[in-house]
Structures are given as structure tokens and as C-alpha cells.
Chains A and B, each alone.
Chain A
Amino acid sequence: MNRPIRSLAVGCLVLFLALLVNVNYVQFVKADDLNDDTGNKRVINEQFSRNRGPILVAGRPVAESKKSSDQYKYQRVYPDKGLYAHVTGYFSYVFGRGALENSENQILSGSDNRLFVNRVVDLLSNKQPTGGSVELTLDPLAQKTAADGLAALGKDTKGAVAAINPQTGEILAMVNQPTYDPNQLASHDFTAVQKAWDKLTNDDDQPMLNRTTQQILPPGSTFKLVTAAAALENGVVDNASDKVKGGRSLSFPGVQYKLVNENGSSCGGDPITFGRALEVSCNVSFGSLAGKIGQDALDEQASKFGFGTDPLAGLPMNPSRFTTSDTQLENTQLAQSGIGQFEVAATPLQMAMVAGAIANEGEVMRPYVIKTVRSPNVRVLEKGEPQAFGRAMSRSNAAILRDMMVKVVERGTATSARINGVDVGGKTGTAQSTPDRPPYAWFVAFAPAKNPKVAVAVVVESSDTARDEIAGGRLAGPIARSVMEAVLGR
């Protein structure tokens, strides 16, 4: 009877090996995944009792943990309330984490692998681990200016401002209206948190939505920059002085539909120069150019600027689009797409990237918001480095388009963005949506034209202003100007 007992012993060995391998899988291999689950009360309890690292803007905390006297040792505080809410996100016991509080959680909570040595020291000295800090690229003055600019349009106005440094890709401002106060969600009074959450999530204006990266809207005439870039890159035009079609309307063979200009204008003749077409934002010219460029080339140009991608790390971002997938555009639709209508939709950050690339000699920089990540003892663990996303245009073509944009500000539709003594390039946009909603007012700009320091995109979704008065230049332009002034220190 010993033989079966021996084989059963092997069998038992296999059973125990399976148990051992499995606990290694759960407690070692899978542990990080399980700990990252937002519903994991243990981790939340523990992290609520930890000195979580701060999120800093220009050396000042915009999210920090302060000692608390209740059952959790620390209270997360956001001193600027709603100003940085969409970048920092929230840190809530009940509803988990959002934005950078979530994506940088490992470092903020102190459980990042790069803090291993700190953790071992904490373990030996029996201390709770403290978190590392995350410093942002944001410019506090630009951020404040943008928020004030949107607020000045009235609190019912929805809008967003994204500003970047075109040469590095650093995000300088990221502002949304309406916004929310993350302190309400970080509170230890869970009934109040639940109430605040219900109110925020049921609000039709979606205050928790980061419009600068998550909401894609028809970019309207600002998309003419992409069409212009494609026209230059594909040799449809070679210079600002080349002639393009102008006039009151663009008709298409075999259909009734005619593409017309805003307010029925004639763009000052037919033909007109390419530069003039951009200055007056001539729909007919760009509709006709789009037809000559073709869907594929235009689509490709948009992709080179970043459409269809999510280049931003750490924050939720929806890719902008030229068309929804697999749409074959008719002639009329292609012309509409060329002026930023039909299925074209972009985020403000994406449009800031377009303006920035034109100013930055055709090179698109990958946008980033984290400047440095430091350990609790301020050793730098990670530095946000400028990274090229790709080249959207040749240098010479970019220079042509840049100078055209400067003219738009000097004497075209974008005069509201003029800054004394600085060459500013810009483009307005007014996109139609449905007849019962006001159009979106857009404005994209950069400054200074040579050696650019800032590129900005502003979108105003709805406004208390009467419908016919809305034009990108009037509503969004001044905000863009003041943000650029803030960055340039004027």
C-alpha cells in the first residue's frame, strides 16, 4: 500500500504548490492592480491617513494634505477651489480620485516603486510613508487671467481656455467654466460629499468635464489654419499672394447647395489672394481649397497636427477628429469640413497645438502638464522634457502661414488680440451647431510671432450675449489676448 501513499504524497505536494503559487500571484503579481481599484476601501482608508504629497504650481501648493483632527489623520485641501480643479482632480473617500490625483496617485501616496528606499526607511522607523510632490507646468497668472476672462462673460457662459508653450509643449493654462470645488468631494463629511457629487453629476452643464481636453466641438473657421497648411504642403498654393477663389458663394455640380460666407460677404472679390482669404476668413476660398486638396490629404494634415491622437499624459483627453471613422465625404461635405464644420470636432488643447505648431516652425510639441516629480526629500525623480510630437509643416510653409496669421491680427478678423509692441498671430472661428443653440466662438493665437512663448485656444460655448453678436473675435479674442499678456509679463 506504500505506492499509492507515495503518489498521494506527490499529489498533496502539487496541491500545496498550487496554493503557494496562487498566493504569490495574488499578493505579489496582482497586488498593485488590486490596490489600484478605486473601490478598495483598505487602500483608501490608508491613503486618507497618509501625508499625501502636494501638487504644486510655481512652488505653491494647489492641492495639499493638512493635519486633521478626525478619524483620518489628514485632510486634502485645494486652496484655489475651482481654479485648478480639472488638472488636480479630486481625492474623495467615497468617489475615488480624478485627473492627476488619480494618474499620479502612486507618487502622491508614496507607494511608487521609485520611492522604494524611502519606503524601506519608513518601514524600519515604523512611520507611515509620505508622498512625493508633483510640480505642474501651469503659469498661475495665465490660469487666473483665463478664469477671470471667462467669468467676466457671466457665470452661465460655458467655455474653456488652453494655453501652451509652442516651443516646449508645456501647458501654461487649462481653465474651464463652469468648474467645481474639489474640497467638497475631499471632505470627510460623507453625506455632504454624496450631496455635492449628486449635484455635480446631475448638472447639465457638466462642471466636472475638462472641456480643454475632453470636449470636442466643431472648430469652425479656426480649422481653416489646417486647411491652409494642407494647401501649402500639398502645393495647391505656394504663397500668401497666390490667387484663390473668392466671391459670394461656392456652388457644386449637380446639387442645389451653395457654400456662402458669414453675413453674405463677398470676401472682397474673386479671385482674392490666399493671405486675404485668411484675413477675412473667407468660407468660399477655403471650401474651394479643401476640394482641391482632397479628403485624404486634408485628413492627413489634421493627423500631423495631432487630430485622432491622445498625446497628453496624465489627464483624460479625447482625440479630436476630422471625420468620424470611415466617412466618405461628398463634395459639399468636404468643403464644409475645410471650414471646420460637418464632422470636424476638436478640443481647445488641440487647436492650441495647431496654432503653436505654426508658430514653432511647423514642429508640433507633445503637450505635458507635469514639470517635475519629486520624492518626499525633494530629490527629482522625473522631469517633464520637451518632446517633439512630429512635424506638421515645412519651415518655409510654416513661416508663410505664421505671417498670414499675424496679418489676421493686424488688419483681419482677429484685431481684438492685438498687443502693443508684440507680433501676435491669430485666427477667429465661429462654428454653427444646431439652430436652437448659439454658435461656438473660437479664438486661437500665438505670441510673439518670432520665438513664440505662448499659444492659446479659447472656446466660448454659449453666452448671454445675443446670438448674432457672437463672433470669435469679440468674445474669445480679449481672453486670448489677456492670457498671452499674462504669459509675456505685460
Chain B
Amino acid sequence: MTVQAPDGQASPAGSAEDVLRVEHVSKQFGAVTALVDVNLHLARGEVLGLLGDNGAGKSTLLKILCGFQPPDSGKIILDGQEVTFKSVQDARAQGVDVVYQDLALIDQLSVYHNMFLNREVVRWPLLSNRVMRRQARQRLDDIGIDLTSVDTPVARLSGGQRQAIAVARSVYSNPKVLLLDEPLAAMGAKEAALILDLISDLKNRGEVSIIIVAHNYGQILEICDRINLLQHGEITFNKLSKDTSVQELNDIVIKEYRRALEERQRSA
């Protein structure tokens, strides 16, 4: 396992200006070590790809970052301040929002009700549906998502459209850091393109810093500024996207896979 040499912006040290810094975070589940002394940083406006195979610790790290569970040790520093997240809602309130793989969308509700769920515009006692409808439309237009109608129940949208709505909803609350969990999972090429365009729009607007958690690096390499690779709970790779390639990442992962396989065969 080789930790890459520091590389400008991509140095493991990062800078004091980073919007998010994770320092020496570890997590253990009984006898299973999920994360070992993980250090990670995210510059303002940066898109970081957090890659790793199934079981590498991506989900654990994501759950710690979004407030779902606390780390055993280590610090999370948001905007220069050390923070602890009591819950997902708490993390969200402090500016870290997550878009889940299984999307917290309600199939039966319309697009705009989903976008405003629990942040409804209310003129007591009634919902201001007209205001929410207009603002949802506006927001979707702003980030370039074209839907026939914001009244459509999300059950009738495609996977890509659903993902886009979920992202749009998170962006709406102006988070400092947006975590995307497998945003392209089980998506066709056209759908994936929709989401990649959306992420690159957000990046160009520079309003939000993004961590994309994924196992398929081929799809997201282009959109990310920098790539971190997580293997066996450790960050083993940290390079700017322009300094690496699908080929290199492939080689690392396959080499690791072979090594693990041999180890298993030896112990069998």
C-alpha cells in the first residue's frame, strides 16, 4: 500500500481554508475495523471522489460525515471549527447534507412536495402550494432540470430525474458540504449524463463543495477534481484527477484484489 506523495492542492495536509477536514478518524465494529486513522480534506468548491470497493469503509465514513454515527476517535472540522454531529438532522443544520443512494424521496408525493418536505411554505394552517410550486420550478430551471410538471408524483420519474430532484432538494438548503452516495448507481448512460451535468453545473457555480462516494471510478473521474481511494479502511491514494487515469486506478484495485485473493487461498 503506497500513500502517494503530496501533490499541491491534493496534499493530505490540505490547507487551513478547507471547508471540511477529517483528522485521524477511526471506527471499529466489534472485532471488525472499519476505518483506520482516516485523514481527508475538502477545499471550498472542490469535488472529491471517494472511491473504494464494497466493504472498503466508504459507507462507514459517509455515515460518520453525515451524522448518522459518531467516530470512535478523531476529529471533524467544518469551516475551521471542530464539530460533532448528534444526528443526521444536526449535521444538516450545521451544513453537511447527504443525498442517499436509496433517496429519501416519497413516491406518492409530487416533485415540489418532495423538494419542500419538512421545509414547507405554510400560511397557517394551509400549505402555500402555489408558492412552493413556483419556487420548485424556479429552482429546477436554475440548475437546468427540465420536467414536464412539478406536480408529477416522483414515482413516475426515471432514476436520473429522481436523483436530480434529490440533489436539487439538498442544494436548496445551501449546505457547505454535499455528500452524494453512489449518485450513478444502476443508471443508464443517458441518466448518468443528466446527473454528471448537474454536478458540473453545481461545481461551476461554486456554491457547494461535494464529496461523491462511488465504486465505479470510470464514470466519475472526469467530474472530480481529486480522487481518494479507500481500501481496508485506509485512504491509500490521493491525487488530482488530471494526474491519474482510469488505467492507474484499475491497476491499483486489481492488484489489491489479486493480493487479497492469494491471501485467502494461502489461508484456506
Is the pairing of A and B real?
no
* B binding-site residues for A, Cβ under 8 Å: none
* A binding-site residues for B, Cβ under 8 Å: none
